[in-house]
């Protein structure tokens, strides 16, 4: 029956993930804006699994530094390419997994481009969020004869350690509490949770979310770069024959800009914002690093962000961090600190990522999963 295939599928998927690790870090370099001559670009080399920088002497002793990641996307990578490497993770939500995908990087490095797309996005340039939902609808439709899925979305913003609903038309938009209930896990009961079944509904909601972020932006001067936004997709599945059910969810998080703010230069609200951002990004780094090192204590309680995502970080959950860097020469300081942060949260050792990628064991498991998926898509 379907349940058995699902079980088998999950087991194989787990084995595959164990080989690759539950935490993955992809690096993406956005195209250069200016007409600066090539030799000035601090990114000297990019290949599938590594990125090399020419580090000016004032930022470190060595001339060249190489960072390794599970995958590196260069400036000419397309949204479709980025998505296709993310797709298996997203699809696993329909098998009952919890997933977190983060966009990390300094302001202007391309986080929103990866997750949402440019302002006037097209079918081609739209980001991971919309593609994820489209794919979930598509896959659930394929499985509809064996399993029924209910999909709903929530969109939250965390600003100055306060959680707010981005899917509200209530102008009061009060701060919300994160709860932990025994049957629901971590949840924000007062935020709108909207059932969706088509991409047009999703687009409407994303527009509403965008508008709510924009409203705060005019009041607070581009608040979007100083808040985290989190699109959460909840999936509930019920196998038609047995009535068995499963639950999965995916958090798609566009993080606040990671740039270090010079404390001698900012005061008041800006200083407070910077401190909150530092605290929550540090907390996220600590949580992921302690998971990657398989430590017994994971410090989820240190920020609202890690509290909110607690259910989906660690355990059987899968984490993907997109680390964004800008190729501009004047961004080199932030680029180095971004890549150092990424290195800290990642489990990758020199060369290990590529070895895994090509191992025959991984290939074999992938084939088995593909054939199980094909089997589960067929009508009995
Ligand atoms: P962030 O959200 O990190 O502040 P944005 O996603 O807003 O950065 O990107 C800054 C600018 O660079 C935007 O105009 C965006 O459209 C552009 N941009 C970023 N990444 C890419 C990319 N991969 N391809 C083309 N343009 C990009
Ligand atoms: Mg942004």
- In tens, the pLDDT along 162-190 reads 999 999 988 777 899 999 987 778 889 99
pLDDT per residue as tens digits for the range 79-102: 999 999 899 899 999 999 999 999
Please report how the helices 199-220 and 128-142 are oriented relative to each other, as an axis angle in degrees rounded to 10: 160
Asked whether residue 113 carries a pLDDT value surpassing 70, the answer given is: yes
How many C-beta atoms surround the C-beta of residue 76 within 10 A? Answer: 9
**CB-ligand 1 contact for 31 (6 Å cutoff):** yes
CA–CA distance, 204 with 192 (Å, rounded to integer): 14
Does any ligand 1 atom lie closer than 6 A to the CB of residue 118? yes
Is any atom of ligand 1 closer than 6 Å to the C-beta of 108?
yes
Distance of CA 235 from the midpoint of ligand 1 (Å): 30
User: Helices (DSSP H) in the chain: which residue ranges?
Assistant: 2-20, 79-84, 87-91, 111-115, 128-142, 199-220, 268-292, 304-309, 332-345, 352-358, 360-377
Q: Which of 175, 167, 241 is nearest to 207 (CA)?
A: 167
Inter-axis angle of helices 332-345 and 268-292, nearest 10? 40
pLDDT at 374: 76
Q: How far apart are the first and last CA of the chain?
A: 8
Task: Please compute Rg for the chain using Cα positions.
Answer: 21
Whether pLDDT at 358 is above 50: no
Identify which has the larger pLDDT, 201 or 212: 201
Residue 160: name the closest of 254, 277, 314 by CA: 277
Q: CB of 178 within 8 A of CB of 188?
A: yes
Measuring CA to CA, which residue among 25, 101, 100, 110 is closest to residue 68? 25
Higher pLDDT, 370 or 318: 318
Is the distance from CB of 239 to CB of 380 less than 8 angstroms? no
| Residue position matching structure tokens 């407070």 | 272
Which ligand 1 atom is nearest residue 105's CA?
A: 3
Which DSSP symbol is given to 59? Answer: G
**Would you state the structure tokens that stand for residue 314, as one six-digit string?**
């660690």
Alpha carbon of 216 to ligand 2 centroid (Å): 14
The DSSP element (H or E) to which 325 belongs, if any, is strand 318-325
Say what the pTM is: 0.86
Distances (CA, A) of 374 to 5, 139, 140, 153, 371: 10, 12, 14, 28, 5
Which ligand 1 atom sits nearest the alpha carbon of residue 119? 16
5 CA to middle of ligand 2, Å?
40
Q: Whose CA is nearest to atom 9 of ligand 1?
A: 110
348 falls in which pLDDT band (50, 70, 90)? very low
- Provide, rounded to the nearest whole percent, the portion of the chain with pLDDT above 70: 85
C-alpha torsion sign, points 175, 97, 284, 215: negative
Distance 174 CA to ligand 1 centre (A): 30
* pLDDT above 90 (res 219): no
Residue numbering of the annotated binding site for ATP: 105-112
Among 152-161, 203-212, 345-354, 370-379, the minimum mean pLDDT is found in 345-354
Ligand showing the shortest atom-to-Cα distance for residue 33 = 1
Distance CA 146, CA 370 (A): 18
Helix (H) or strand (E) holding 71: strand 71-73
Q: Which of 110, 112, 277 to mutate to test the pocket of ligand 1 (most atoms within 8 A of CB)?
A: 110
ipTM of the complex: 0.99
Question: Helix, strand, or coil here: 8?
Answer: helix
Residue 224 Cα to ligand 2 middle (Å): 6
Q: How far is CA 145 from CA 20, 38, 140, in A?
A: 32, 55, 10
- Which of the residue ranges 213-217, 337-341, 360-364 has the most confident prediction, judged by mean pLDDT? 337-341
Average pLDDT, the chain: 85
Q: Are 49 and 72 in contact (CB under 8 A)?
A: yes
Q: Is the pLDDT of residue 64 over 80?
A: yes
pLDDT tens, position by position, 224-262: 788 999 999 999 999 999 999 999 999 999 999 999 877
Any ligand 1 atom below 6 A from CB of 318: no
* pLDDT of 357 higher than 70: no
Centre of ligand 2 to C-alpha 209, Å, is 13
Q: How many residues does the chain have?
A: 380
CA 163/CA 228 separation, integer angstroms: 10
Q: What pLDDT score was predicted for residue 339?
A: 94
φ and ψ of 340, to 5 deg: -65, -40
Token pair 């919300």 is found at 176
- Answer whether 255's CB lies under 8 Å from 104's CB: yes
Q: How many CB atoms lie within 10 A of CB 286?
A: 19
Q: Which ligand is nearest to the CA of 213?
A: 2
So what's the pLDDT on residue 356? 36
Take residue 171 and report the two structure tokens written for it.
């102008």
Tell whether ligand 1 has an atom less than 6 A from the beta carbon of residue 225: yes
Q: Please work out whether the CB of residue 248 comes within 6 Å of at least one atom of ligand 1.
A: no
Q: What is the DSSP letter of 176?
A: B
The residues with which 99 forms a beta bridge, in sequence order, are 250, 318
């Amino acid at each position: 029956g379907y349940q058995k295939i699902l079980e088998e599928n999950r087991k194989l998927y787990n084995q595959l993930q164990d080989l690759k690790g539950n935490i993955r870090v992809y690096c993406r370099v956005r195209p250069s804006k200016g007409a600066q001559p090539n030799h000035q670009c601090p990114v000297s080399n990019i290949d599938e699994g590594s990125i090399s920088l020419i580090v000016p002497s004032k930022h470190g002793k060595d001339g060249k530094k190489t960072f390794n990641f599970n995958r590196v996307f260069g400036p000419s990578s397309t949204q479709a390419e980025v998505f296709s490497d993310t797709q298996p993770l997203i699809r696993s939500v329909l098998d009952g997994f919890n997933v977190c995908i983060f966009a990390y990087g300094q302001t202007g490095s391309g986080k929103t481009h990866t997750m949402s797309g440019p302002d006037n996005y097209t079918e081609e340039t739209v980001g991971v969020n919309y593609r994820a939902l489209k794919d979930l609808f598509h896959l659930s439709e394929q499985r509809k004869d064996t399993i029924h899925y209910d999909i709903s979305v929530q969109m939250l913003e965390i600003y100055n350690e306060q959680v707010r609903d981005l899917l509200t038309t209530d102008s009061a938009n009060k701060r919300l509490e994160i709860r932990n209930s025994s049957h629901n896990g971590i949840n924000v009961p007062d935020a709108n949770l909207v059932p969706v079944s088509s991409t047009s509904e999703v687009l409407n909601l994303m527009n509403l979310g965008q508008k709510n972020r924009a409203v705060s932006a005019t009041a607070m001067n581009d608040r979007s770069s100083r808040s985290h936004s989190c699109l959460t997709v909840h999936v509930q599945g019920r196998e038609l024959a047995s009535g068995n059910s499963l639950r999965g969810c995916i958090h798609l998080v566009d993080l606040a800009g990671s740039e270090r703010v010079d404390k001698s230069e900012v005061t008041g609200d800006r200083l407070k914002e910077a401190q909150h951002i530092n605290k929550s990004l540090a907390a996220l780094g600590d949580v992921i690093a302690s998971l990657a090192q398989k430590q017994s204590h994971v410090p989820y309680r240190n920020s609202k962000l890690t509290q909110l995502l607690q259910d989906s970080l660690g355990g059987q959950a899968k984490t993907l961090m997109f680390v964004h860097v800008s190729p501009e020469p004047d961004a080199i300081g932030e680029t180095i600190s971004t890549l150092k942060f990424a290195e800290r949260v990642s489990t990758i050792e020199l060369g290990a990522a590529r070895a895994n990628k090509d191992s025959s064991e991984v290939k074999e498991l992938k084939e088995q999963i593909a054939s199980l998926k094909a089997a589960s898509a067929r009508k009995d």
